[in-house]
Amino acid sequence: MDNVLVQKYGGTSVGSTKKIKRIAQNIVRNKKNGLKVVVVVSAMGNTTNELISKALEVNKQPPSRELDMLLATGEQVSISLLAMAIKSLGHDVISLTGGQCGILTDGNHKKAKITEIKTDRLLSELEQDKIIIVAGFQGIDNCNDITTLGRGGSDTTAVALAAALKADMCEIYTDVDGVYTTDPRIVQNASLIDKISYDEMLELASLGSSVLHPRSVELARKFKVPLVVKSSFTMNKGTIVTEVDTMEKVVVRGLALDQEIAKISILEVPDKPGIAYKLFAELAKNNIGVDIIIQNINRNSVNDISFTVKIDDLDEAVEISEKIVSEIGAKKVIYDKAVSKLSVVGAGISGSAEVASIFFKSLYELGINIQTISSSQIKISCIIETDKALKALTYLHDKFHLSGLNGEDAVI
């Protein structure tokens, strides 16, 4: 189907009925311009957090299935109100939950992954010239139980729908003007990036940039969905996420800071084949993502293994690690929540000694000790103490000359 536009509006964009009415007008303008519009919305404002708080009041460990049932209601409020607002403007519209619009997921509650989107209902409603409003963040599994997609789920919903419908564009509306060289709420002179590659955006998203969720960028890259990130409160053009050719230039695209991590260390692990497999297989079985992994040098036939996880997964990851420790005869598990991951991202970084030199020299000048280092083709990351992270981010942003770019690349 031609001329399909998918839009996503986050919680701040639909945080009040006044904002919902303004968004309705924007959607109707696109419809009048001849586009077939599918809109994904999040729950209003802090609704999801409020629902989680209510769940914890009645059960300190709420069952995952019932928590999904509860959390899914937040998006249903948003879609129905937005549909009512559009109808008041004289346009045909229908609101659909994730299950109603054909989003099928696995049965992993709270962190479900989309397995298929059946587009029959969506195409039928579009053929009837209706605007479709879809509840983000949710789907149904093969038992017809409601599931939620976890953090960033509405972004993932929007990109998945755009891919399934072969949409011409997927617009992600948020509370910032687009993707910046770093978080503009921390570094006030951060520069807006006009265009960024899927790979660079994926690294920034994975490393702590909160504008887009990594899963949504992965989907966009896989299915070549053109993304635009823009503000729902301004008319600025935002940032385009697409294929970008920088040839052999070394371009520092931006800096990311992730303060929502923790480091776990297992001390004196026996140096035997299969030990690491046993640990990380158990973490994977429980759907706990692991990032930076370090195994210290062998001494007296034992090693120390350290790795980072999201702070939300810390308690479960420590419990699993302690269980493994008793099975393999390691000494003990320790963890540190006062750490952050600081990263520099850009094309050609892996082949540039200068980028690494500036990065590590800057941390040295600030007297910051580096706990672990990780790198890829387009990023360098390190784990540092959280209480020094914000200062480091601001200092590095200046050292890489990322302010006042006005759409230009910071070429090293």
State the Cα–Cα distance between residues 67 and 54, nearest whole angstrom: 10
Is domain 254-258+340-411 annotated with CATH 3.30.70.260?
Answer: yes
**Please, what sign has the CA dihedral across residues 336, 337, 339, 340?**
positive
pLDDT at 136: 95
Q: Which amino acid is it at 61?
A: Q
Cβ count within 10 A of residue 101: 26
Q: Which two tokens stand for residue 363?
A: 């941390």
Intervals of CATH 3.30.70.260 along the chain: 254-258+340-411
Residues 384/369, Cβ–Cβ less than 8 Å? yes
| Contact status, residue 92 vs residue 129, Cβ threshold 8 Å | yes
Averages of pLDDT over runs of 10 residues in the chain (412 residues) are 92 93 95 96 94 96 96 96 98 97 95 95 97 97 95 92 96 89 89 90 81 89 93 84 68 90 93 88 90 80 90 94 89 94 86 88 96 88 95 95 72 54
At residue 411, the pLDDT reads 54
pLDDT given for residue 245 in this prediction: 64
Q: Where in the chain is the domain with CATH 3.30.2130.10?
A: 262-336
Q: Are 292 and 362 in contact (CB under 8 A)?
A: no
pLDDT at 241: 92
CATH 3.40.1160.10 domain span(s) along the chain: 4-175
262-336: what fold? VC0802-like (3.30.2130)
Q: From residue 317, how far is each of 86, 246, 292, 332 by CA, in Å?
A: 45, 40, 14, 14
pLDDT given for residue 243 in this prediction? 80
Q: Choose the CATH number for 4-175 among 3.55.50.30, 3.40.50.300, 3.40.50.12780, 3.40.1160.10.
A: 3.40.1160.10
Instruction: Check residue 205 and give its pLDDT.
Output: 85
Q: Using CA atoms, how far apart are residues 118 and 99, in angstroms rounded to an integer?
A: 10
The whole-angstrom separation of Cα 124 and Cα 353 is 55
Cα distance between the two ends of the chain: 43
